[in-house]
Structure 1
Amino acid sequence: MTAPGPTPDRGAPPDPATGRLVVVGASLAGLRAVESARKAGFAGSITLVGAEEHLPYDRPPLSKAHLGAGSGSEPAAPHLREEAHLREELGVELLLGRPATALDTAARVVHVGGREVAYDAVVLATGSTARRLPGTDHLDGVHPLRTLDDARAVRRALEARARTVVVGAGFIGSEVASAARGRGLDVTVVEAQPTPLARAVGAELGAHVAAIHERHGTRLLTGVGVASVEGDGSGRVERVVLDDGTVRPADLVVVGIGVVPATGWLEGSGLRLDDGVVCDETLWAGAPGVWAAGDVVRWPNATMGETQRLENWTGAADQGAAAARNALDPAAAAAYATVPFFWSDWYDVRIQMIGSPVADEVLVVDGDPTAAGRWVALYRRGDRLIGALAVDAPAEIMKYRAQVMRGGSWDDALAHAAARRERAAGRAAGPAS
């Protein structure tokens, strides 16, 4: 019999009346941490630190509705809560527009510029930052799409009828291309990999999803990288030169080549940093009183049997709440496990994915991915359903998520798919004459 390992020193709980909770990152995960703490009855002080000047806002609309054609007026910022609610109802001290610069886990202090913010428990929710194309910082018209300010700049360019080149055919880049085409603009998507979205949904299905671009008149160039981005004499972007010699004129270049977890400020903190803040199954970051949530966390997800770092809305919201609950009661900290879920809207198509694309087999169980219209594919690992991808089939995807959550078998998933096809066939046939 193996002896149990030592109990980790996650720290003492903050006093529920006078304790100090600091949340670093005015993000969705950070907001959910604040709300969860108050919901749990924590009456001590809460400080929310944010690098941006904006109140916590919703990111999915930035590459979706925010960029779409409308009346021409700029949409309202998609704030998740108003300032009065945060300050007066939740009793939060807001330190916005002031990024955290260091974490001293021995002194239990977060450095925010020249100020030291003491904590009894801290939740790290600094998210991630967009990768940039080297050598483009001096050019106007080259943007990532990660922040509200990024989205506003891209929207202004689209409204000016910019010739648009999107670098990266992932979900964010594809949503930008969709918005540009929705305005009737000429847009080219450049993807260095031979198959877009191979890491997100697998190589075979990535090709089928990418074909949606071509059906909507978007030029997609794969297996080719960017050699240089060049500007005119005024410092304004003018063209993108690809490594095969192709030149694409551009007034707007949107860079969607992924993100990196925002951990630079944690160098020297003693925390383990490896593609994020490495946490245990409870989202504890390895130092007393330090927890983490959202894009910045890499943790063992027992439900999926993988160590993961999630970059999606659902994960950020759920992790923020879980990290705060555990921070307030570390002796009873509960493991956080989930089935990842994300969605993306391209043109008039909704793409949804649950689970993991790391599979032994991928099988299309409904519809035809080579044609327009709905289709569903399932992912098998061993004898278990491990993931599902749905295109324009929103009613189906959450049923498969529930199956993965409870460890459902591959055979049960196939039986569910067969029953669904039979019901659909019956409805199409209509009543017997």
Structure 2
Amino acid sequence: MKNIVVVGAGAAGLASAETLRREGFTGRLTLVGEEPTLPYDRPPLSKHVLAGTWDFTRTLLREKDHYAQLDVELRVGRRAIDLDLPGRTLLLDHDEPLAYDGLVIATGVTPRRLPFGHELDGVHVLRGEQDALRLRAALTGQPRVVVVGAGFLGMEVAAVVSGLGLDVTVVDPLPTPMVRQFGPAIGALIARLHSDHGVQVRTRTGVTDLLGSDGRVTGVQLDDGTVQPADCVLVAIGAAPEVGWLRSSGVQLGNGIQCDEYCQAAPGVYAAGDVASWPSPRYGRRLRLEHRMNATEQGTAAARNLLHGNVEAFDPVPYFWTDQYDVKIQAHGVFPDGARPQVVEGSPASGRFVALYREDGRTVGALGWNSARQVREYRNQLAEGPVSGGAK
């Protein structure tokens, strides 16, 4: 193998490129990124960058000189638009073909949008550098903010906006914030946390329109007939895998790129990060994770299997976290629908606890609420096999 291309210059793509060099690949290595910046870390965008405590340059994953030392041809500001599997050629915008012997796809996700209202000034999504800088600039005008969507991103942004002293309302049709991630019990605690910090949390409430005047947003029309006034709206209703450019390629698509347990999607083609799904023997289901740690781990695994020939199945214990106000929630494993949390250490009333999630008699997830050290011990047990009740 003499020529490897990594398309997607985020955490997963960079991990793949670095792993290839570390594992002994000496051929031509190209890293393609759609944004015109050096690879950067996305989680700080909704926290430190949005709060104004970090300049964007602090999010860069590596300095520019690192890529020269790695002998990586970095092509930023270029977008993949097609893939010729039989010809082993990637087509970039402006009709530029890029041949490869091996390919890692790490193109991530793109924000979902409402079917209306995005043409109005003051309506935002948040995924990349420019999104974060535009939203940050809007917040300096002391607007009334409405966040549509009460998942990870929506609640993290609500916490930042509240911390800036602004009026913020969160709207979501589901019964509690983050119910898809952690279920209704933890969701209720998150709702209370935000309410205690002055955020208006309107759950079980849908959005039917975004209202505007003279081209600017003025309010959010809700399905109960009321209008929530707004000068700034963040639409945070999830994200879709960036796979449109692969529709005619022959790569199997479903919930993202359908990989096998080695992260392989087609002959000579592997995928990693938010865009990739794979079958997990550990959990008996196909997973696709939009988590920072998974991006690095899967990028590393995909590169190693591409280079050495499927030497190790990818089957991690997922890890992710969220910071909201003075609360850090850390989660290990998976949190299936219907799995109820059992508090095994501490208590919600004390502001510190560990809860385990069980499915079919087996503990599959461990959540720590301001309990980093304690939940890490359960993570080790999850990695070894089933966890019993509150056993240590």
When the two structures are superposed, what TM-score results if normalisation uses the length of structure 2?
0.96
Q: Equivalents in 2 of 1:157, 1:368: separation in Å?
A: 39
Partner residue, 2:70: 90
Q: 1:51 aligns with which of 14, 21, 34?
A: 34
**Is contact 2:175-2:184 (8 Å) kept?**
no
Partner residue, 1:122: 103
Offset, 1:192: 1.2
Partner residue, 2:48: 65
In the alignment, structure 1 residue 76 sits paired with structure 2 residue 52: no
Partner residue, 2:299: 320
Partner residue, 1:308: 287
Q: 2:232 aligns with which of 252, 269, 274?
A: 252
Q: Output the amino acid matched with 1:319.
A: Q
In the alignment, structure 1 residue 215 sits paired with structure 2 residue 196: yes
Partner residue, 1:9: none
Q: Equivalents in 2 of 1:193, 1:346: separation in Å?
A: 20
Q: Output the amino acid matched with 2:299.
A: G
Q: Equivalents in 2 of 1:345, 1:372: separation in Å?
A: 18
In the alignment, structure 1 residue 401 sits paired with structure 2 residue 384: no
In the alignment, structure 1 residue 28 sits paired with structure 2 residue 11: yes
Q: Output the amino acid matched with 1:216.
A: H
Offset, 1:207: 1.9
Q: Output the amino acid matched with 1:307.
A: R
Q: Equivalents in 1 of 2:350, 2:202: separation in Å?
A: 21
Offset, 1:179: 0.6
**Is contact 1:77-1:148 (8 Å) kept?**
no
1:410 match: secondary structure: coil
For structure 1, the 5+ residue unaligned runs are: 1-13, 417-433
In the alignment, structure 1 residue 198 sits paired with structure 2 residue 174: no
Offset, 1:197: 1.6
Q: Equivalents in 2 of 1:210, 1:354: separation in Å?
A: 22
**Is contact 1:304-1:338 (8 Å) kept?**
no
Q: Output the amino acid matched with 1:28.
A: A
**Is contact 2:155-2:177 (8 Å) kept?**
no
Offset, 1:360: 4.8
Q: 2:161 aligns with which of 172, 177, 180?
A: 180
Q: Equivalents in 2 of 1:321, 1:118: separation in Å?
A: 22
Partner residue, 2:216: 236
Offset, 1:372: 5.8
**Bigger mean CA offset, 118-127 vs 146-155:** 146-155
- Quick one: structure 1 residues 146 and 204, their matched pair in 2 at CA, closer, same or farther if it must change by over 3 Å? same
> Which deviations, in whole Å up to 9, do the C-alpha atoms of 1:43-95 show, x marking residues without a partner?
1011111111111100110011111254xx85435110122211x10111122
**Is contact 2:52-2:136 (8 Å) kept?**
no
> Which deviations, in whole Å up to 9, do the C-alpha atoms of 1:357-410 show, x marking residues without a partner?
1265431123333x3611221111233221011111111222111111111332
In the alignment, structure 1 residue 274 sits paired with structure 2 residue 254: yes
Q: Equivalents in 2 of 1:408, 1:243: separation in Å?
A: 44
Q: Equivalents in 2 of 1:361, 1:112: separation in Å?
A: 46
Partner residue, 2:243: 263
Q: Equivalents in 2 of 1:144, 1:53: separation in Å?
A: 19
**Is contact 2:183-2:340 (8 Å) kept?**
no
Q: Which aligned segments of 4 or more residues in structure 1 are displaced greater than 4 angstroms? A: none
1:415 match: secondary structure: coil
Q: Equivalents in 2 of 1:302, 1:316: separation in Å?
A: 19
Q: Equivalents in 1 of 2:222, 2:277: separation in Å?
A: 34
**Is contact 2:6-2:13 (8 Å) kept?**
yes
**Is contact 1:384-1:407 (8 Å) kept?**
no
Offset, 1:118: 0.3
RMSD across aligned C-alpha pairs, in angstroms? 1.5
- Quick one: structure 1 residues 77 and 361, their matched pair in 2 at CA, closer, same or farther if it must change by over 3 Å? closer
Offset, 1:222: 0.4
**Bigger mean CA offset, 308-317 vs 139-148:** 139-148
**Bigger mean CA offset, 270-279 vs 192-201:** 192-201
- Quick one: structure 1 residues 378 and 275, their matched pair in 2 at CA, closer, same or farther if it must change by over 3 Å? same
Offset, 1:116: 0.6
In the alignment, structure 1 residue 415 sits paired with structure 2 residue 384: no
Q: Equivalents in 1 of 2:55, 2:359: separation in Å?
A: 46
2:254 match: secondary structure: coil
Q: Equivalents in 2 of 1:254, 1:181: separation in Å?
A: 14
In the alignment, structure 1 residue 298 sits paired with structure 2 residue 296: no
**Is contact 1:32-1:320 (8 Å) kept?**
yes
Instruction: From the two aligned structures, give the one with the greater strand fraction.
Output: 2
Offset, 1:163: 1.1
- Quick one: structure 1 residues 260 and 368, their matched pair in 2 at CA, closer, same or farther if it must change by over 3 Å? same
Q: Output the amino acid matched with 1:249.
A: P
Q: Equivalents in 2 of 1:175, 1:399: separation in Å?
A: 26
Q: Output the amino acid matched with 1:127.
A: G
Q: Equivalents in 1 of 2:183, 2:189: separation in Å?
A: 10
Q: Equivalents in 1 of 2:299, 2:121: separation in Å?
A: 36
For structure 2, the 5+ residue unaligned runs are: none
Q: Output the amino acid matched with 1:309.
A: R
In the alignment, structure 1 residue 284 sits paired with structure 2 residue 284: no
**Is contact 1:284-1:290 (8 Å) kept?**
yes
When the two structures are superposed, what TM-score results if normalisation uses the length of structure 1?
0.87
Partner residue, 1:171: 152
